[in-house]
Amino acid sequence: MLIAGNWKMFKGAHEARMFSTRIRNLPSRVHGVDVVVCPPFASLQGALQGLGSDSAVHVYAQSVHWELEGAFTGEVSAPMLLEIGVTGAIVGHSERRQLFAETDETVRRRAEAALEAGLAVIACVGETEAEREAGETEAVLSRQVSFVPRHERLVIAYEPVWAIGTGRTASPETVQEAHAFVRTLHQAPILYGGSVKPENAGAILALADVDGALVGGASLDPTSFEAICVAAGEAVAA
């Protein structure tokens, strides 16, 4: 079971350090759960400092470029992340796709480069509200997943775009249906992302084809994030 907190563009270096200090021992209280935090680039080192050298919490970046170096202003490479102690990266988050012109092809290139360099990868897929209403969910997921490489360090996150940051959560039936379909396309572990919070985490994480969660807003509060991790531990033990 994997619980990853995507902080998006929140928490500077100082706040990241303080938050990470508070959760550094969390894995010892949630057996069977891998805990990950994904700070903004500028806060990665702050998070690592707060965790210290002996914490089992991992730090992932929110994106990574496909080249090792070059004239790519504003981008960060996998070797740069590895050098400071970052062990993974998100690729293809819906906000990257919608706001920053990320495509299935660039998601593939980012994922392959990160995996080749030695990072773990959370590759995001998911349909918009318009696509779901048009009955295109399976077609969209099939297309997006076809660009996701197969690798032991890769995890897929299913995030229905209409449930991200909206407070709307897909019903357990909808989540299970989507995860089961993705499972027919790719054998990687599958996380659910879309307004996961302590109140609904237990029901979502208990579903047969859900292997964890990519948590947005609720990951910004250490108490909420810990509660979701505890729910994951209970799902593992059940």
Which domains are seen in the chain, by residue range? 2-237 (3.20.20.70)
Catalytic residue numbers? 93, 159
Residues contacting 139, CB < 8 A, separation 6+: none
Mean per-residue pLDDT pooled into runs of 10, the chain (238 residues): 98 98 96 97 98 97 98 98 98 96 98 98 95 94 98 97 75 94 98 94 97 97 98 96
By three-state DSSP, how is residue 88 classified? Answer: strand
Cβ atoms of 91 and 104 closer than 8 Å: no
Determine the pLDDT at residue 163.
Answer: 77
What is the crossing angle of helices 198-205 and 222-237, to 10°?
A: 20
3-state helix, strand, coil in the chain (%, to 5): 45, 15, 35
Rounded CA separation 4/191 (Å) = 9
> Could you count the other beta carbons within 10 Å of the beta carbon of residue 154?
23
Whether the full predicted model's pTM is greater than 0.85, yes or no, is yes
Residue 124: what residue type?
C
Rounded CA separation 232/207 (Å) = 11
